[in-house]
Amino acid sequence: MAEVKISPSILSADFARLGEEVRAIEEAGCDWVHVDVMDGHYVPNITIGPAVVKALRPHVKTVMDVHLMIAPVDPYIEAFADAGSDIITIHAEAGPHLDRSLQLIRSLGKKAGVSLNPSTSEDVLKYVLDRVDLILLMSVNPGFGGQSFIPSQINKIARIKEMIGDRDIEIEVDGGVTPETAPACVAAGATALVAGSAVFRGGTPDDPSIYAGNIKAIRSSVASL
Ligand code: DX5
Ligand code: ZN
């Protein structure tokens, strides 16, 4: 099995030191950098916008994995593309024209992702599978880091893996991912894991070895799968 990608969510980083935090998690061995964008409307929290994504871009050497939890989303997709996102993921629940939004992301030369909340059925993916590069399954209700993993999402991962067949689509799981919950995700078909608190816990950008240990703990938990 190909090695699972680890995408630390900078939601759990020190927001006053974001550039240093990104450099530290990359030094610690992450594969992608997960950026959680929240608008206080689609989700009950507000985080960052395209200006911060743009400011972070020169610090990110890997992949900028941008998760938009905003509605409406279409008017802002171009701004996040221009800011330097590599993957732009939108929520299926956030707008009436998912197919159009995904086409827009790809037309801007970016990888297109679609995210589903825990209560959303995978059925909404059925007719857009040829327009997506990544499916982001929320294993918590979006809005905050540090919540507990919702176990019912494991079956959803397996069903989506079956749906995508041999298409080249990443299955990323986001929320409550730890060395305890990661194995079930990967066994069910996850190819990428977002982890916020489980990566940043106990560390600061002054010493990337703590982050490296946390990333290694997640990788080790799934190494035998
Ligand atoms: C939640 C965000 C997640 C979150 C993950 O709305 O999309 O990326 O920050 O944080 P943890 O890993 O702490 O659950
Ligand atoms: Zn996220």
10 Å CB burial of residue 216 (0-12, 13-18, 19+) is: middle
pLDDT of residue 67: 99
pLDDT of residue 145: 98
- Burial annotation 26-38 (CB, 10 A radius, 16+ → b, else e): bebebbbbbbbbb
Q: Are 136 and 89 in contact (CB under 8 A)?
A: yes
User: Would you place residue 2 in the very low, low, confident or very high pLDDT band (cuts 50, 70, 90)?
Assistant: low
Given a cut of 90, is residue 111 above it in pLDDT? yes
Ligand 1 pocket mutation pick from 6, 7, 9, 214 by most atoms within 8 angstroms of CB = 9
Is 36 one of the annotated active-site residues of the chain?
yes
pLDDT of residue 195: 98
Given a cut of 60, is residue 172 above it in pLDDT? yes
Q: Are 108 and 132 in contact (CB under 8 A)?
A: no
Is 14 one of the annotated active-site residues of the chain?
no
Q: List the catalytic residue out of 82, 86, 174, 207.
A: 174
Given a cut of 90, is residue 157 above it in pLDDT? yes
Q: Is the CB of 101 under 6 A from ligand 1?
A: no
Closest residue to atom 6 of ligand 1, CA basis: 142
pLDDT tens by residue, 37-48: 999 999 999 999
Which pair of structure tokens corresponds to residue 91?
């929520």
Kindly give the distance from the C-alpha atom of residue 218 to the centroid of ligand 2, in angstroms, as a whole number. 17
Cα 135 to chain centroid distance, Å, stands at 9
Segment 202-221 mean pLDDT: 98
Q: Which residues pair with 193 in a beta bridge?
A: 6, 173
Q: Is the CB of 9 under 6 A from ligand 1?
A: yes
8-state DSSP, 61? S
Kindly give the distance from the C-alpha atom of residue 107 to the centroid of ligand 2, in angstroms, as a whole number. 23
> What mean pLDDT is reported for the chain?
97
Cα 90 to chain centroid distance, Å, stands at 10
Amino acid letter, 114: V
Q: Is the CB of 140 under 6 A from ligand 1?
A: yes
Kindly give the distance from the C-alpha atom of residue 14 to the centroid of ligand 1, in angstroms, as a whole number. 15
